Structure 1
Amino acid sequence: MGESVDLKTRGVRIVISVPDGGTAAGVARGTANGRLAVLGGISSLGTAGVVRPFSTASWRAGVERAVAVMAAREERTLVLCAGSGTEKGARRLLPQLPEVCFVEAGDFTGAALRGAVEHGVTQVVFVGTAGRLARLASGVLTTHYTRSKADTDLLAEITRTMGGPDELAARVAEAGAVPHAYELWEGAGLLGRAGRELCRRVAEVVERLTTEAGRTIAAQVVLVDPTGQRMIAMYGRLSR
């Protein structure tokens, strides 16, 4: 700007706008603005509806803000999803809930749960693939962290608990990653039972963590297929 105008001798008025950014039928409808209580202005969050911050702190703040906005709308059921794929599946599974209830927690499940306790949420539904659920079942809230051996050891234990043969449990334990273990369950006809047990363990972790944060929140957990679109198993209880 300084190369075009001598700012010492004259001022400059700058207007930044997004065509149709703030209209009801415009760009803002495709963003996360409404969930973050950004209403009536231009939209600069991206037409995919996904905020891509430059720091983990801002991402976490976005998750916490989304939970706070949901609670301010007097909604009491929070649906946590790992990403946009699982969110689409979750919204098909729970069509009765408004959009504001669905939050892409990403790697910040712990922050989302603490926010849920703080804002009086009574029900948490977590929708995720086997990889995410395996980490949560182990109490690991930074769910992007790679710890495949520990994850598959847990799934091998579940295999045995659900009556799977030792040979299958050994193959699950040695699987290169959770998706391979998932395929082994599916091939052995154990996916439904083992998936429900995985969901049960995640629900236990969620309820324990919320209790430690100050108030137990009823948890439901849904295992979806790798595409995030089809429900495989579910476990949980309704809030009272």
Structure 2
Amino acid sequence: MDVDGDIDTEGTEGRALRPGWTTGACATAAAAAATTALFGGDFPDPVTITLPGGQRPAFALAVTERGDGWAEAGVIKDAGDDPDVTHGALVRARVTAGAGGSGVTFRAGPGVGTVTLPGLPLPVGEPAINPVPRAMIREAVTAVAQAAGRAPDLVVEIGIDNGEVLARRTMNARLGIIGGLSVLGTTGIVVPYSCGAWIASIHRGVDVARAAGLPHVAACTGRTSEAAVTRHYGLPEQALLDMGDFAGGTLKYLRRHPVPHLTIAGGFAKLGKLAQGLMDLHSKRHAVDLDWLAGVLADLGATPDLVAKARGANTALEVLQLADAASLPVADRVAEMARAVALRVLEDAPITVDVIVIDRQGGIIGQAGGVGQAHSPLPR
């Protein structure tokens, strides 16, 4: 994922993870090669570009074509060790001459989406080619044009093979990017397994919701909780934030960019971590504190024997089942405590907060701060 800053790129076994290149860097390389061919030169292969940080990587060309008044080149994206949906995709750039004085203009080719909602860093109707990749492409093709003694009046069409299908595995439709993928990147370099891109997508989701005037958003830890919130509140897709494990990044951004009503939804274990005050809910960073959960049961009036069983439990689910058998509303208590933590992080932001705890089947088993808090019991 493309981020700026210092990121830990050590794998789980101590192996240094291999970085890769952003879609924007690949599109820039393809556009530079196509522009060279358009002006009568040979396709440079490999083609070298300059990244925003000054690095000069070289890219092999996978596709080269030209015809009357156009040239096209393609680069296969290598995202390194990052689990990027576009890893291995063919990124194409077709360049044609534009009208005199038009400068460099951009079009969405097959597989690249179009912006249809406000709140993104591009106007509605524009191809989903983000500002930094646009600047990289513009600089690269302008340099080629000047070297050839030509005016940089060019139409650059970026496409990604199979992009419309790949986009179904991203948040693009929710953000109002229709018809394909986005051309992204701020550094040109993909840093594997970083959290920065995910948090950035949460921020953009908040921006889109605010620009659309939505009064209610839901920050969810996964697809099951999204489905539960959608059933419970009937929220539109643009109101759903894929928070994942990044509670802190979500709440801190909302503190600065508030919406009137926030629902936080997730499973018992993850929201139990939030209730403890943890901002990173990932299992690799923080395990469920069973002693803490046992203490919650004690506060709810559990017998010493039940508290001891909770302390010796293997999972949070086992504690939940023990509490349910004893008719102790532990999920409601976890929701109350998670809500209190969220309100502390939000400080004095004008946001009403409710929390929904769900089971693995998507049923609501705990709630705090909402209207009409009836919920289904945990299946036995």
Which of the five TM-score ranges fits, normalised by the shorter chain?
0.7 to 0.9
Q: Which amino acid aligns with 1:99?
A: E
Q: Unaligned regions of 5+ residues in structure 1, if any?
A: 46-52
TM-score scaled by structure 1?
A: 0.78
- The residue aligned with 1:83 is 222
- What SS does the corresponding residue of 2:274 show, helix, strand or coil? helix
- What SS does the corresponding residue of 2:227 show, helix, strand or coil? helix
Matched, 1:232 2:365: yes
Matched, 1:144 2:277: no
Matched, 1:55 2:191: no
Q: How many residues align?
A: 218
Contact 1:148 1:177 in 2 (8 A): no
Higher strand share: 2
Identity, % of aligned positions: 26
- The residue aligned with 1:129 is 267
**1-structure distance, mates of 2:370, 2:43:** 64
1:94-173 to 2 correspondences below 5 Å: 94-95=233-234, 97-146=235-284, 147-148=286-287, 151-173=289-311
**Greater mean alpha carbon deviation, residues 114-123 or residues 97-106:** 114-123
Which of 356, 359, 362 is equivalent to 1:222? 356
Which of 93, 100, 111 is equivalent to 2:232? 93
**2-structure distance, mates of 1:220, 1:136:** 13
| C-alpha RMSD of matched pairs (Å) | 3.1
Higher helix share: 1
- What SS does the corresponding residue of 1:13 show, helix, strand or coil? strand
Shift of 1:141: 1.1
- The residue aligned with 1:49 is none
**2-structure distance, mates of 1:206, 1:134:** 12
RCO comparison, higher one (Cα < 8 Å, 6+): 1
- The residue aligned with 1:50 is none
Deviations 1:80-123 (A, max 9, x none): 1101121112211111x211111110121111112222223122
**2-structure distance, mates of 1:36, 1:54:** 22
- The residue aligned with 1:32 is 171
Shift of 1:64: 1.0
TM-score scaled by structure 2?
A: 0.51
Shift of 1:189: 2.6
- The residue aligned with 2:338 is 202
Tell me which stretches of 4 or more aligned residues in structure 1 moved more than 4 Å: 26-31
Shift of 1:30: 7.5
Shift of 1:172: 0.9
Q: Unaligned regions of 5+ residues in structure 2, if any?
A: 1-29, 34-40, 45-64, 74-91, 93-108, 117-163, 184-191, 372-380
- What SS does the corresponding residue of 1:92 show, helix, strand or coil? helix
**2-structure distance, mates of 1:74, 1:185:** 41
**2-structure distance, mates of 1:152, 1:87:** 26
